[in-house]
Amino acid sequence: MARLRRALSLCDLFRPERDPESWTVWCRTGDGRVARLDVAVTNAGVVVTASDQGPWVLPPLRVGRLRAALRDAALTCASLDPRNTDRMS
């Protein structure tokens, strides 16, 4: 398992440019299969999609990453909204 994690982290070095308006959080399903939660910004707002049906199991670190992805998506969405007059710095 450690070898697989190292290989995956090396793959991160060769990933193409990532979309600044989407985030991915890896998790597991209730059955133990690997799943992916995608957070994206659209015209309608923040959208969360999953690669597999739930329930999803996230260890504490992944919960923090999901929370950060949701926060970043909300801030991006707010900055793109022309009606938003409250500027965050």
Q: Is residue 4 part of a domain?
A: no
pTM comes to: 0.69
In a domain, 45, yes or no: yes
Q: Would 10 be classed as within a structural domain?
A: no
Residue ranges in the chain whose pLDDT is less than 70: 1-20, 84-89
Contact 39, 25 (CB under 8 A): yes
Range of the domain at 67: 19-80
pLDDT of residue 16: 47
What HEC string does the chain produce? Answer: CHHHHHHHHHHHHCCCCCCCCEEEEEEEECCCCEEEEEEEEECCEEEEEECCCCCEECCHHHHHHHHHHHHHHHHHHHHHCCCCCCCCC
- Quick: pLDDT tens for 45-64: 899 999 999 899 999 999 99
Comparing C-alpha atoms, which of 51, 49, 35, 41 is closest to residue 71?
41
Q: What's the pLDDT score for residue 89? A: 46
Domain count for the chain: 1
